[in-house]
C-alpha cells in the first residue's frame, strides 16, 4: 500500500495539474478551483468564467445595493481560497485557481449597462472579460506581477473586469 501524503503538502508538483483528490480535500480548494471547473484540461480560466457568468446573471436580478455586497463577499472568500489553494499547490496563481474568473465575470455582468440586455450582451461581456484577463493591459499586468497571494490573484481579474465593463459601456453608446 502506497503512503498517502498530506493533500496540503504540495498536492501537485510545481506547475502540475491538481486532480479531483485535491479538489475535494478542502472546501477552500473546492471554491478556489471553481467547483471543479479549474480542473478543465483546456482553458481552465475560460471554463471558470462560466459559473461566474451564471452567478452574475443571478446577482443582476437583485438591486445593485444587494448585488455589490454579495460580490464583495465573493472577493473576500476568493482571496482566502486562492491563498490556501496556492500555498497547497506551491504556485500562488496556479492556472487551476479560477475563483478570480468567477468573481471578475460576475462583476462584469452585474455592472453591464442595461442598454445591452439579453444573450448577446452576455456573450459580449464574456468575450471582453476573457480578452482583458488574457491580455492584461496596464495596470492589470502590474497587479498580476507585483501583488502576491490571494489578493493578487483576485485583484488582477477585478481590474480586467473594470476594463470589460468600460468596453461594454462604450459598446452601449455605439448602439
**What is the pLDDT, as a whole number, of residue 162?**
96
Show the CA angle centred on residue 54, arms to residues 15 and 113, nearest 5°: 110
Per-residue pLDDT tens for 49-85?
A: 999 999 999 999 999 999 999 999 999 999 999 999 9
**What is the pLDDT, as a whole number, of residue 15?**
54
Q: With a cut of 60, say whether residue 13 has pLDDT above it.
A: no
**Residue 98 to residue 82: CA distance in whole angstroms:** 8
Whole-number mean pLDDT of the chain? Answer: 88
Per-residue pLDDT tens for 44-56?
A: 999 999 999 999 9
Q: How large is the average pLDDT for residues 86-115?
A: 93
**What is the pLDDT, as a whole number, of residue 117?**
64
Burial label for 87, CB within 10 Å (0-12, 13-18, 19+), is middle
| Single pTM value for the model | 0.88
Q: With a cut of 60, say whether residue 124 has pLDDT above it.
A: yes
**Residue 160 to residue 108: CA distance in whole angstroms:** 9
Residue written as grid cell 506551491: 90
Ordered by start, the domain boundaries in the chain are 42-174
Burial label for 135, CB within 10 Å (0-12, 13-18, 19+), is exposed
**What is the pLDDT, as a whole number, of residue 164?**
97
Q: How large is the average pLDDT for residues 86-109?
A: 95
**What is the pLDDT, as a whole number, of residue 40?**
94
Q: How large is the average pLDDT for residues 17-23?
A: 92
Amino acid at each position: 500500500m502506497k503512503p498517502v501524503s498530506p493533500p496540503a503538502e504540495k498536492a501537485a508538483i510545481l506547475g502540475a495539474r491538481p486532480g479531483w483528490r485535491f479538489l475535494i480535500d478542502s472546501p477552500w480548494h473546492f471554491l478556489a478551483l471553481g467547483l471543479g471547473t479549474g480542473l478543465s484540461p483546456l482553458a481552465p480560466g475560460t471554463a471558470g468564467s462560466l459559473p461566474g457568468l451564471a452567478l452574475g446573471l443571478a446577482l443582476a436580478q437583485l438591486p445593485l445595493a444587494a448585488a455589490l455586497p454579495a460580490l464583495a463577499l465573493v472577493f473576500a472568500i476568493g482571496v482566502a481560497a486562492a491563498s490556501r489553494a496556492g500555498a497547497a499547490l506551491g504556485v500562488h496563481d496556479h492556472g487551476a485557481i479560477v475563483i478570480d474568473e468567477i468573481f471578475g465575470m460576475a462583476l462584469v455582468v452585474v455592472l453591464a449597462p442595461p442598454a445591452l440586455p439579453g444573450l448577446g450582451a452576455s456573450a459580449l461581456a464574456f468575450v471582453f472579460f476573457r480578452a482583458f484577463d488574457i491580455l492584461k493591459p496596464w495596470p492589470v499586468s502590474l497587479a498580476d506581477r507585483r501583488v502576491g497571494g490571494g489578493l493578487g490573484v483576485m485583484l488582477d481579474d477585478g481590474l480586467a473586469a473594470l476594463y470589460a465593463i468600460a468596453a461594454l459601456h462604450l459598446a452601449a453608446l455605439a448602439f
